[in-house]
Structure 1
Amino acid sequence: MPLRLPDRLPAIDILKHENIFVMDETRAHSQEIRPLRIVVLNLMPLKITTETDLVRLLSNTPLQMEICFMKLRSHTPKNTPVEHMMMFYKDFDELATHKFDGMIITGAPIEMMDYEEVEYWAEIREIFDWARTHVTSTMYLCWGAMAGLYHFYGIPKYALPKKMFGIFRQYPLSQALPIFRGFDDSFFMPQSRHTEVRREDIEAVPGLEIIAASPESGVSIVMARGGREFFITGHLEYAPNTLDREFRRDKDVRDDVELPVNYYRDNRPEAGPVVSWRAHANLFYSNWINYYVYQQTPYNIDDIR
């Protein structure tokens, strides 16, 4: 079954060229199916790119899903046309009375700031608290993951001596969990961050479980509340060329930019990337939708508590 997306969302045409089955709202309304409702709080500067990355992964399931995009009332994006935001995004205030089967909260390019210094921190905290009673399972990504761990559990973040940048091998620590069903003994995850959360802080908090980690990049996935919350420090959703774009952007303005680790063929940017994370990324999102959203959420969405 396809995803139900807003009419004329740019991701529709992009993904149709990749032979991914998507359906706009006009056609979807003719089907008598209770779709899963997924809301995405997209804090990334390049909204359309992130929309496409996430929709690509969410599409790899037989379940029909209705995707909704949320924006902040307290922040105006600078890198996405106002027309796009007005057409496809709704303020939190408009969605606060609704309930959703699943939610994804993305990263944001503000990780070096203290949380309390972020202009929209008060609204983010309000949304985090709202998600606990209005969403069956929420996935927090990168800065979103660190912010969620800090808000709910007091887990601090630490500045890294240099950017964690590249593709790093991860190891599932609880392979019996449904989220890892079908996984190999290890998998790869893109990382692009200047801060980290530490194992010892997380292990000291009851209710938090580190379920995947790397000897090189540290904690990668934390689970809480029996799978109602997942905190992911990396970017399984990244497209093949995302790290390449970041590398070329940064090296043009700074002189301390290193090659992304384990990314380019023979470590040569001109040779292009080796995509080593796509299969597990699709499997991870499919497992999340199936086992932690679809099989846990009530048929009557208003019964979510």
Structure 2
Amino acid sequence: MMPDILCLGEPLLEFNHVGGADWRQGFGGDVSNVTVAAARQGASAGLLTRVGADRFGRSLVEMLEAEGVDVSHVSRDEDAPTGLYFVTHGETGHEFAYRRTGSAASRMAPQDLPPGLSGASVLHVSGITQAISESARASVTAAMAAARQTGARVSYDPNLRLALWPIEVARPTILRALASCDIALPGLDDARILMDLDDPEVILRRIQEMGPAIVALTMGRDGVLVGAEGEVHHIPSPTVEAIDATGAGDCFDGAFIARLVADDTPLDAAVYAAHAAALSTLGHGAVGPIPNAQAVRDAMRRTKDRSQIRAN
């Protein structure tokens, strides 16, 4: 049986520098993080991907299974490795170094997709998956088309990574995907580059004009702008003593989609997801600090941020 939320992308093994000579092994990959975040909120979520037939790939699958993620569409590649990345921290924030060229996930192809993607309510994809190889890019396009045919909503995060592909290729590809999705989840920094605009509200409305019914523009410490049903709202970011923002945007995406599937309004889903994302910065790594639903509900009761929401 297909999970309610099906995510297509690359899971990675993570090594996070926590000080001195110490590195903490964890898990990451933007779409994989989204899947785990959705599952921790109680949603039915699954990952569609390829991993290497190596210890790293086995560790990732074991982690996903422990999180309650459906791994029935995770295939193992005997000839390609599982991707890795390293996180370091400095005055300007966190920095990433990847070892993913030629990875198993980069070899995903449209023929790897389950027939029709039947049964999923939401398909989530990202610009990073489109960037890692031409065959992965074709897989995203094919998956989005298949989701449309079955009536599933498509969720899309541009996640622009210019180290993976040039802007001349990235911009038209991402803009086409934004125009074809139902739920757009861009980050402000990426959107400014892609849209060649600066003002967040102008960016959000321009993306709305492209076609998505729901747009949630994440702005880091400045919170989230969410546009849906003819209204735009600003949700402040809860104040926390952040340790590591790795994967915070992915946590937002997973929590937001999970609440939409649970029939929350886009505004309520965004309030919930903003709290989840803030809590996810309280520890090192992308997956470990992702909160569960109880932690998010407790934080919402403490902060009462709904009183701060303003309509624009």
- Do the structures match in fold with TM over 0.5? no
> What TM-score range do you get, normalising by the shorter chain?
0.3 to 0.5
- Using the size of structure 1 for normalisation, the TM-score is 0.38
- Using the size of structure 2 for normalisation, the TM-score is 0.37
Normalized per residue, the structure richer in helix is: 2
